[in-house]
Amino acid sequence: MESIAPTHMLGGYKVIDFTQAVAGPTATLMLAEMGAEVIKVELMPNGDLTRAIPLIKNGRSGYFVQHNRGKKSICVDVKNPEGLALIEGLIPHMDVLMENFAPGVIGRLGLDYQTVKGLNPRIMMCSLSASGQTGPLANEPGFDTLGAAYSGITSMGGEADGSPYVPQAAMSAPALTPRWRFAQPCSIAGVQAVASTSTCRCWMPTSITMRSAFRCIV
């Protein structure tokens, strides 16, 4: 009997991944697990900040591997014209670009949506940030501890007569907010839409207070 090689839902699709820390890498991890070729772009000189988080074994962070296994990785100085040119050369071959910088950062790096669209008119771009790309909180800093504070999780810990304890694990990012859960299916839907129609851009508000504001435009 002829053996049939296993196939995956996203086999053949390519993702250029600018995400870092937890929320974005978790979303692109799921894409990799479904067969997409994910190329993780880490910024010079130190790469993803989670590379330094313990447990470190044989020079590798278990925390980093947890969120980035199954991906390819390059470390690039995008602020250098040669580094930017390298990325611009990759984009025409990609189906998806994902990033989770603060709003405006990807544009200052020279890779805003209009620029990316000009390099690859059919690419799907997904942006994750604490409170979306627009609105009163868009430019506020956002990380797991702030999400925990907004949601009330922080107030549930600590001594009765003392200050709250800051959670020492990423609780609101992967477990309580919908950001990577929405980003992953949004990316799949965008890839499928782009394959048959036109360009797609997703904005992903990630804080608990803004989670209902998710939208995907195709």
The predicted-structure confidence for 58-87, as pLDDT tens digits, reads as follows 889 999 999 999 999 999 999 999 999 999
Q: Report the pLDDT averaged over residues 5-16.
A: 87
Contact (Cβ atoms closer than 8 angstroms) between residue 204 and residue 179 = yes
Which domains can be identified in the chain, with CATH numbers?
14-217 (3.40.50.10540)
Is residue 207 within 8 Å of residue 137, measured between CB atoms? yes
C-alpha distances (whole Å) from 178 to each of 16, 148, 192 are 22, 13, 21
Could you give the angle at which helices 179-196 and 23-33 cross, rounded to 10 degrees? Answer: 50
Side chain identity at residue 55, one-letter code: L
Question: Would you say residue 204 has pLDDT above 70?
Answer: no
Instruction: Tell me how long the chain is.
Output: 218
Average pLDDT, the chain: 80
| Residue 48 burial (C-beta neighbours within 10 Å; 0-12, 13-18, 19+) | buried
For residue range 137-194, what is the model confidence (pLDDT) as tens digits?
A: 888 777 777 777 877 878 888 888 888 887 776 665 554 444 444 555 555 555 555 4
| Short-list 126, 167, 163, CA closest to 147 | 167
**Would the pLDDT of 4 be above 80?**
no
Instruction: Name the more confident of 90 and 4.
Output: 90
